[in-house]
């Protein structure tokens, strides 16, 4: 053992683990998008920009890792953490980002083990839209349908029911599934299979 102190890692910048295996990541642009366009609306954070913390930037650095051709490095990513740590908020911001920034015609599905939880995910995205004139000018929110569509018709976020019989044929470009720890019944497992 050395009597010298271990160097303290720099806490100001996220550890970019994705650099070990992927040629690029969209995390930096996503972090900028969150802080610029996503204003929070819950509790102590009401009215504050969604400034991602270091651990969130680390996570999204890997989530948004890409291959040389720009295609996603990962097909499935799971975040396991205690309740009330902003999972729903982060997922809704990611959905809006991908709706507005992805090429082609992105189809983003918001799913959860219950329709009520899927509505929370949708409502979090809708709240970001209400608080951002820039995003609001680019999309139309249809609460009664559970849809957020781009005004140019080239993309949609859709809240989906957890009934597997209604999930086939969606052809999503991204599925954001909340509270997956509760996808435990045979019916919900069939829904997961239909979505993925």
Lookup: tokens for 1: 């053992």
Residue 10 has pLDDT above 60, yes or no: no
- Phi first, then psi, for residue 154 (nearest 5°) are -105, 50
Query: For the CA atoms of 90, 158, 162, 74, what is the dihedral angle to 10 degrees?
Result: -50
Q: pLDDT band for 146, please (50, 70, 90 cuts).
A: very high
- Mean pLDDT computed over every residue of the chain: 88
Residue 34 has pLDDT above 90, yes or no: yes
pLDDT of 14: 56
DSSP letter, residue 68: T
Q: How far apart are CA 57 and CA 89, in angstroms?
A: 14
Residue 49 has pLDDT above 70, yes or no: yes
Asked whether the beta carbons of 100 and 135 are under 8 A apart, the reply is yes
- Phi first, then psi, for residue 177 (nearest 5°) are -105, 120
- Mean pLDDT score, 136-140: 97
23 versus 43: the higher-pLDDT residue is: 23
Question: Which residue is listed with tokens 């650099």?
Answer: 19
Q: pLDDT band for 2, please (50, 70, 90 cuts).
A: very low
């Amino acid at each position: 053992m050395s009597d010298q102190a271990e160097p303290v890692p720099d806490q100001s910048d996220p550890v970019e683990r994705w650099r070990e295996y992927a040629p690029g990541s969209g995390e930096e642009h996503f972090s900028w998008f969150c802080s610029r366009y996503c204003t929070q609306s819950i509790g102590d954070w009401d009215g504050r920009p969604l400034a991602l913390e270091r651990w969130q930037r680390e996570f999204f650095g890997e989530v948004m890792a890409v291959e040389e051709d720009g295609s996603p490095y990962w097909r499935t990513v799971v975040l396991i953490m205690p309740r009330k740590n902003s999972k729903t908020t982060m997922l809704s911001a990611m959905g809006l980002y991908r709706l507005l920034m992805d090429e082609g015609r992105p189809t983003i599905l918001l799913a959860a083990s219950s329709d009520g939880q899927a509505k929370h995910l949708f409502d979090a995205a809708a709240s970001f839209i209400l608080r951002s004139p820039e995003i609001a000018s680019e999309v139309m929110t249809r609460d009664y349908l559970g849809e957020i569509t781009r005004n140019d018709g080239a993309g949609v976020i859709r809240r989906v029911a957890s009934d597997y019989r209604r999930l086939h044929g969606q052809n999503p470009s991204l599925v954001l599934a909340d509270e997956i720890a509760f996808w435990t019944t045979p019916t919900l497992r069939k829904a997961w299979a239909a979505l993925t």
